[in-house]
């Protein structure tokens, strides 16, 4: 592997240590916030910190993996490796704290989240993180935090994984919609039938889960709202990508709050 440590200039640490995508913040914070709202505990805070550290680690890990694949080692690679180690240790500290303070085992969601995260990291390494599969895998993987928080608080596995299902449905529906909106910004067809079909499948899936008492019906109503937004937004002229991003942050917050209220009132 070529060592090009003599490259001019020091790497800008912010571009290495902090994510460049805004959407990832929502997919990371939503499960943590939902978990803290419906299953607050010391372990919940520790797992929330761990999930945030994992999210922050993705950017520097991506840079390290990309440079390894390209058989080079730059100044930025060394910086990225340092941040990867720091974030990794922070995540481990959060998980270790949760192991001590949790009332029940919470590791089961990792059996699903880790392989999904692996798909996202593989795509990162080969500069394919913008593919549909990679975006959905990364977003859904982060949602596992809410199930871990619920399990740590003593929830039954069904409702605990039901919370993750709500956020997974929201993630899939939103990713497909946002990609369609961005395509329109660039003058490309939105492929609306795919968007509408995705909204219908996510709502139907959550409805079945609500019938089985795994998710609250208010969460289903929230996803119906996401579907209505999809129809409305694709019927209007395209808007700037920044507007799309901020809109999805609000959408995610609404889904989280309605789901939390549904848990509290039992509907």
> pTM value?
0.92
The pLDDT of residue 2: 54
Phi first, then psi: give them for residue 154, nearest 5 degrees: 95, 10
C-alpha of 63 from chain center = 19
Query: For 130-139, what is the mean pLDDT?
Result: 93
Rounded Cα distance, 99 and 216, in Å? 28
Is pLDDT of 176 > 60?
Answer: yes
pLDDT at 6: 44
Alpha carbon distance 246, 68 (integer Å): 34
pLDDT tens digits along 223-266:
999 999 999 999 888 888 888 888 889 999 999 999 999 999 99
CA nearest neighbour of 77 among 85, 67, 91, 90 = 67
Q: What residues pair up with 3 in beta bridges, in sequence order?
A: 73
- Give the pLDDT band (50/70/90) at residue 218: very high
Give me the percent of the chain exceeding a pLDDT of 90. 76
pLDDT at 238: 87
Burial 22-57 (b: 16+ CB within 10 A, else e): ebbebbbbbbbbbbbbbbebebbbbbbbbbbbbbbb
> Are 255 and 208 in contact, with CB atoms under 8 Å apart?
no
pLDDT tens string 8-47: 445 678 788 888 776 788 899 999 999 999 999 999 999 9
DSSP H or E run through 107: none
Q: Is the pLDDT of residue 150 over 80?
A: yes
Would you say residue 130 has pLDDT above 50? yes
For residue 195, pLDDT beyond 70: yes
């Amino acid at each position: 592997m070529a060592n090009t440590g003599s490259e001019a200039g020091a790497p800008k640490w912010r571009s290495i240590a902090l994510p460049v995508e805004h959407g990832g913040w929502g997919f990371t914070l939503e499960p943590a916030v939902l978990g803290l709202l419906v299953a607050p505990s010391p372990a919940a805070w520790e797992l929330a910190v761990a999930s945030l550290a994992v999210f922050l680690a993705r950017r520097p890990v991506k840079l390290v993996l990309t440079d390894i694949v390209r058989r080079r080692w730059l100044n930025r690679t060394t910086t990225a490796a340092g941040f990867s180690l720091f974030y990794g240790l922070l995540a481990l500290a959060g998980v270790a704290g949760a192991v001590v303070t949790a009332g029940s085992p919470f590791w089961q969601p990792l059996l699903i989240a880790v392989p999904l995260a692996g798909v996202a990291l593989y795509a990162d390494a080969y500069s394919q993180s913008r593919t549909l599969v990679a975006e959905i895998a990364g977003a859904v993987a982060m949602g596992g935090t809410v199930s871990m928080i619920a399990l740590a608080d003593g929830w039954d596995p069904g409702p605990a994984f039901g919370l993750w299902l709500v956020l997974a449905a929201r993630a899939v529906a939103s990713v497909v919609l946002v990609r369609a909106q961005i395509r329109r910004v660039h003058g490309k067809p939105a492929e609306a039938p795919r968007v509408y079909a995705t909204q219908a499948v996510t709502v139907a899936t959550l409805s079945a889960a609500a019938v089985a008492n795994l998710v609250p019906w208010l969460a289903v109503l929230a996803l119906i709202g996401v579907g209505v937004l999809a129809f409305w937004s694709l019927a209007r002229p395209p808007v700037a990508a920044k507007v799309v991003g901020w809109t999805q942050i609000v959408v995610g917050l609404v889904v989280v709050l309605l789901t939390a209220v549904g848990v509290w009132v039992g509907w």
